[in-house]
Amino acid sequence: MLMLLAASGLGALQLSATILPSATSLGLNPGQQYAFVFVTSTLTAATSNNIATYNTFVQNLANANSIGTSLSMTWNAAVAVSASIKPNTNAPVPVGVKVFLLDGTMVANGGTNRFYHNVNHLAPIQITELGTGFTGTDRVWTGASDGNGNESGSGLLGAANPVFGHANGTNWDRGFTDSWAREGNNANSNLYRLYAVSNVLTVTNTVTPEPSTWALMVSGLAVAAIRRRRNQAQ
């Protein structure tokens, strides 16, 4: 298993093997960059024009499922609330960065199929922060004008009728069936999902123990601590 480091240099070892696949299983090589994306399992209205509202919403869901701050991972909402705060600036995915679902399915290859681009995704964003699919509505608030991650003007989140897309869609723009980014507008009081994009990660050469090995190490340390406390109490 390879160590996964955040591009900021403050990266952390990915121990959440039950949800996040390893770089090796994703077929990545040292030096390659990638990110993860999920669609939220819970719903929210789009009445606020404060980006912190939506970033906090998705980060809290990630934290609750051990794929957030415990791994030094930051998650931002792919939404637009203004001309300058939009999917491709609030949750950026640079050219060359591969994007995966939490089950390891590739959504964008970073090249001909970039995450924000006028081409279709390779797979729909149907996996939640739980690492599973969802039931119920597939509508997702985006406020986007297109799959390039641009803002939609009157369709921003916080406006009366923000733009939504579909989590079962792969097409990049409205006018196609089940567009992932823009399919229509609706009243901001409706409860829909959000897309969450992780910070960019970089694969390094450092070899680290597999998750099973880490589990044994942690268990051993716990047993040792218990024995030490018992000896001190005697």
Confirm whether 214 is domain-assigned.
no
Low-confidence ranges of the chain (pLDDT < 70): 1-18, 174-178, 206-234
- Other beta carbons within 10 angstroms of residue 83's beta carbon come to 11
- Note whether residue 120 is domain-resident: yes
Phi, psi angles (nearest 5°) of residue 149: 85, 20
Q: Spell out the SS3 assignment of 65-112.
A: CCCCHHHCCCEEECCCCCCCCCHHHHCCCCCCCEEECCCCCEEECCCC
**Per-residue pLDDT at 164:** 95
Q: Tokens 């403050």 belong to which residue? A: 10
Asked if the structure places residue 131 within a domain, the reply is yes
Q: Provide the domain limits for residue 159.
A: 2-208
Q: Quick check: is 219 in a domain?
A: no
Q: How many domains does the chain have?
A: 1
The CATH number of the domain holding residue 75 is 3.10.100.10
pLDDT value for 9: 35
Alpha-carbon distance 13 to 158, whole Å? 37
In a domain, 189, yes or no: yes
DSSP-H helix ranges across the chain: 51-64, 87-90, 211-233
In a domain, 36, yes or no: yes
User: What's the pLDDT score for residue 90?
Assistant: 97
Does a structural domain hold residue 78?
A: yes
Task: Report yes or no on 233 lying in a domain.
Answer: no
At 151, list the tokens: 């803002």
Quick check: pTM over 0.95? no
Per residue in 93-146, pLDDT (tens digit) is 999 999 999 999 999 999 999 999 888 999 999 999 999 999 999 999 999 988
